[in-house]
Amino acid sequence: MIKSTWQGKKTFKAQSKFGHDIISDAPTESGGDDNGPSPVELMLSGLAGCTGIDVTNLMKERLAQVTKLEITVDDEREDTKSRAVKHVTLIFDVEGEVDLKKLKRSIKLSVEKYCTVAHSLKATIEPKLIFNGEEQTLD
């Protein structure tokens, strides 16, 4: 359960069931005070965190030595009043002593099977991989 309390203008303070506080707000150009990330930024951050946890867990099970995992999330919005997210690109920048085939499989498993956040979104999610500085296909 999350409890979110209005703090004034467009700022909300949410508290997780584990007691963590999360501030969300709108940028000043949208009438907020820019006190924190927007709700959409929090959602996309949740997607990055969820897939990142999955991938690191799966790679640890495979005894991989990941030295860097950075996930960049880019979204494309609908041209409607709601501006719903219709497409998400996840770019996994990974370095280390890792079996590339197992890494690709871990990313695909996260997006297609394990990540609760990914399964909760209606948007198309496209994972991409940069491994030790080189872009890779996930096939």
Examine the domain organization and report whether 60 and 29 are in the same domain. no
CA distance 102 to 121: 25
Distance of CA 19 to the CA centre of its chain: 21
Q: Both 46 and 89 in a single domain?
A: yes
Do 106 and 56 fall into the same domain? yes
What mean pLDDT do residues 111-139 have? Answer: 92
Q: Is 44 found in the same domain as 30?
A: no
> Are residue 32 and residue 44 in the same domain, yes or no?
no
H/E run at residue 47: helix 39-61
Judge whether residue 74 has pLDDT over 90: yes
16 & 45 share domain: no
pLDDT one-digit tens code per residue, 6-49: 999 999 999 999 999 999 999 999 999 999 999 999 999 999 99
Residues 63 and 117 in one domain: yes
pLDDT at 48: 98
Q: Where residue 112 sits, what CATH number does that domain have?
A: 3.30.300.20
User: Rounded mean pLDDT of 131-136?
Assistant: 93
- Token readout for 41 is 């930024």
The pTM for the full model equals: 0.90
Side chain identity at 13, as an amino acid letter?
K
Which two tokens mark 138? 């996930």
Output the average pLDDT for the chain: 95
Which residues, at least 6 apart from 113, have a Cβ–Cβ distance to it below 8 Å? none
Question: Do 87 and 72 lie in a common domain?
Answer: yes
Model confidence at 122: pLDDT above 90: no
Domain carrying residue 8: 1-36
Residues 86 and 113 in one domain: yes
The percentage of the chain sitting over the pLDDT mark of 90, rounded to a whole number, equals: 92
